[in-house]
Amino acid sequence: MFKVFCILFVLCLHAKESQFTFDNIGRVKPVLHLLNENKLDVIKIEGNHFLLMRKNFILDTNVLLHDPNAIYGFEDNTVIITIDVIEDLDHFKKDMSDLGANARKVSLELDALRKLGNLGEGVRLKNGGLFRLYLNSYREELEDCGLNFKKNSAHSLLALAVYLHRTKPDVPSILVTKSSNLRLKADALGIYAEDFEASLHVEDDSFFGHCEHHTDAASLQELTSKGRIQVDLNDFDELAMNEYVLLKDKEDNLLPELTCHRGNGTLEHVYHYGEGIMGIEPRNVEQCFALNALLDPDIKLVTLQGKAGTGKTLIAVAAGLQQVLKEGSYHKVLISRPTVAMGRDIGFIPGDIEEKLRPWMQPIYDALELLLEIDRKTRARQIPADILEAGEVQIEALSYIRGRSIPNQYLIIDEAQNLTPLEVKTIVTRCSMGTKIIFTGDPEQIDNPYMDRYSNGFADLIHKFKGSRLAAHVRLTQGERSELAEEAANLL
What's the pLDDT tens digit per position in 155-201? 888 888 888 988 888 889 999 998 888 899 889 888 899 988 654 44
DSSP 193: E
Contacts of 289 (CB under 8 A, 6+ apart): 209, 210, 244, 258, 270, 474
- pLDDT (0 to 100) of residue 387: 81
Cα–Cα nearest to 476, from 323, 345, 324, 309: 309
Cα–Cα nearest to 289, from 308, 312, 317: 312
Residue 257, SS3? strand
In whole angstroms, give the CA distance from residue 105 to residue 481. Answer: 44
Residue 385, SS3? coil
pLDDT at position 345 over 60: no
pLDDT at position 4 over 90: no
Q: Give the pLDDT mean for 375-395.
A: 83
- pLDDT (0 to 100) of residue 358: 72
H-state helical runs in 377-482: 387-390, 421-428, 457-465
Handedness of CA 466, 240, 302, 282 (dihedral sign): positive
- pLDDT (0 to 100) of residue 433: 95
- pLDDT (0 to 100) of residue 306: 93
- pLDDT (0 to 100) of residue 325: 92
pLDDT greater at residue 380 or residue 273:
273
When pLDDT is cut at 50, 70 and 90, the band that residue 96 belongs to is confident
32-41, 212-221, 361-370, 481-490: range with lowest mean pLDDT: 32-41
Residue 433, SS3? coil
| Cα atoms in the 13 Å half-sphere on the side-chain side of 131 | 23
pLDDT at position 298 over 90: yes
Whole-number percent of the chain with pLDDT over 90: 43
Q: Give the pLDDT mean for 353-377.
A: 80
Cα–Cα nearest to 427, from 408, 396, 457, 402: 402
pLDDT greater at residue 76 or residue 98:
76
In whole angstroms, give the CA distance from residue 407 to residue 422. Answer: 21
446-468 residue pLDDT tens: 887 767 788 788 999 999 999 99
The interaxial angle of helices 285-295 and 312-321, nearest 10 deg, is: 40
Residue pair 41/54 in contact (Cβ under 8 Å)? The answer is: yes
Contacts of 258 (CB under 8 A, 6+ apart): 244, 246, 247, 269, 270, 271, 272, 285, 288, 289, 292
Cα–Cα nearest to 43, from 31, 51, 35, 32: 51
Whole-number percent of the chain with pLDDT over 70: 80
- pLDDT (0 to 100) of residue 3: 44
- pLDDT (0 to 100) of residue 157: 87
When pLDDT is cut at 50, 70 and 90, the band that residue 229 belongs to is very high
- Phi/psi of residue 189, nearest 5 degrees: -90, 0
- DSSP letters along 466-485, please? TT-TTEEEEEE-S--S-HHH
- Phi/psi of residue 334, nearest 5 degrees: -110, 120
399-409 residue pLDDT tens: 777 778 999 99
* Number of Cβ atoms within 10 Å of the Cβ of 1: 6
In whole angstroms, give the CA distance from residue 219 to residue 248. Answer: 10
Q: Which residues of 65-103 are buried (b: 16+ CB within 10 A; e: fewer)?
A: bbbbebbbbbbebbbbbbebbbebbeebbebebbbbbbb
123-137, 147-161, 177-191, 242-256: range with lowest mean pLDDT: 147-161
| CATH numbers and ranges of domains, the chain | 1-53 (no CATH), 54-194 (3.40.50.1010), 206-270 (2.30.130), 271-491 (3.40.50.300)
- pLDDT (0 to 100) of residue 144: 62
Q: Which residues of 366-378 are buried (b: 16+ CB within 10 A; e: fewer)?
A: ebbeebbebbeee
Q: Give the pLDDT mean for 206-221.
A: 92
Instruction: Name the pairing type of β-strands 244-249 and 257-261.
Output: antiparallel
* Number of Cβ atoms within 10 Å of the Cβ of 126: 8
- pLDDT (0 to 100) of residue 492: 75
Strands (E), 90-243: 123-124, 130-134, 173-176, 192-194, 210-215, 228-230
